[in-house]
Amino acid sequence: MSTQNLKEAGLKVTLPRLRVLEVLEASEHRHLSAEEVYKRLIEADSEVGLATVYRVLTQFESAGLVSRRHFDGGQALFELNDDDDHSHIVCVKTGHVEEFNDPIIEQRLLEISEELGYTMNDHTIVVYGERNKVKTGKAGR
Amino acid sequence: MSTQNLKEAGLKVTLPRLRVLEVLEASEHRHLSAEEVYKRLIEADSEVGLATVYRVLTQFESAGLVSRRHFDGGQALFELNDDDDHSHIVCVKTGHVEEFNDPIIEQRLLEISEELGYTMNDHTIVVYGERNKVKTGKAGR
DNA sequence: TAGCGTGTTGAAAACCATTATCATTGCAGT
DNA sequence: ACTGCAATGATAATGGTTTTCAACACGCTA
């Protein structure tokens, strides 16, 4: 129940916050821009202002509920924080975003940070590439 | 000589382009925003418009002379491309940026991209952390 | 369950970095 | 030097995001 998440995050339970959370949860593993969240709310007949979407997303970010990503310097994409922290691979042609996670790299980053005299808080890895034609075993997609 | 770089990049040699290149070269290994480049030009009594700074930097990027980074989604930072491609570690308190390079990670990213069906063009690794107090052996800095 | 205070909301204006516009200027090749 | 076309500068426009501020609603208390 979303209400719980909000309370745990120390945020007052309000309609807009619930609605935004719902949208994010309904599209788990997707990366949504504030504008996209806003559109989905409108489509769902939830009257929430764009400014509020931004405010709420920013609050969620502070509360650790979502992460804000800047893959291309344009609009930010927001993603619900689940347990595992992962890296991203972005198709430069389609903008398609996938996630991956690699313990070896994680380990190396920790080591490197330490070597350089830093305490690592967080990190971002984005791979830009072209998605190869999917080898269609039978029915392509 | 900067003139050479510009010709090689297929760019007409103009005063603004030379000046911007000089600024970038004069601060090698630093990451400058367009505004910072602009300010340095003004300080050097080089009359170059901000719009031109942006244009020139964008052209340099296309020509492969500089890279544009979006560490925080705010203003972009530009950095002269030297030989080695490197990753960045940013101090979340001071904004200080350092570079590092790790062959193991590079290798893993290539492998991972392939596994996921991508041809890697490029990648960005940014580590955010706190720079530990420098252990001052004698004279701190 | 009603009343109240404070935090939240919405609409619009403000903001900031960046890009487009367009008349003027200056390279580069003859 | 002359000329064409690309480059420049000042300013307006743009896009994403944040701020402003009056109206409103959550959650606590009685």
- pLDDT, one tens digit per residue, over B42-72 is 999 999 999 999 999 999 999 999 999 998 8
Q: Cβ–Cβ of A125/B109 closer than 8 Å?
A: yes
CB count in 10 Å sphere of residue B38: 22
Which nucleotide minimizes the distance between its C1' and the CA of B55? C19
φ/ψ of A28, rounded to 5, equals: -50, 145
CA distances (Å), B127 to each of A36, B13, B63, B91, in order? 28, 37, 27, 8
In chain A, which residue's Cα lies nearest the Cα of B133? A117
Q: What is the pLDDT of residues A5-43, one digit of tens each?
A: 898 888 999 999 999 999 999 986 689 999 999 999 999
> Would the pLDDT of B7 be above 80?
yes
Q: Which nucleotides of D are covered by protein (CB under 7 A)?
A: 6-12, 15-20, 25-27
Contacts of residue A95 in chain B, CB cutoff 8 Å?
Answer: none
Which nucleotide minimizes the distance between its C1' and the CA of A16? C9
CB count in 10 Å sphere of residue A89: 24
**pTM, to two decimals:** 0.83
SS (H, E, C) B10-50: CCCCCHHHHHHHHHHHHCCCCCEEHHHHHHHHHHCCCCCCH
Q: What is the pLDDT of residues B94-132, one digit of tens each?
A: 778 889 999 999 999 999 999 999 999 889 999 999 998
pLDDT at A136: 55
> Would the pLDDT of B137 be above 70?
no
Contacts of residue B92 in chain A, CB cutoff 8 Å?
Answer: 121
Q: What is the mean pLDDT of residues A116-134?
A: 90
3-state class (DSSP) for residue B6? helix
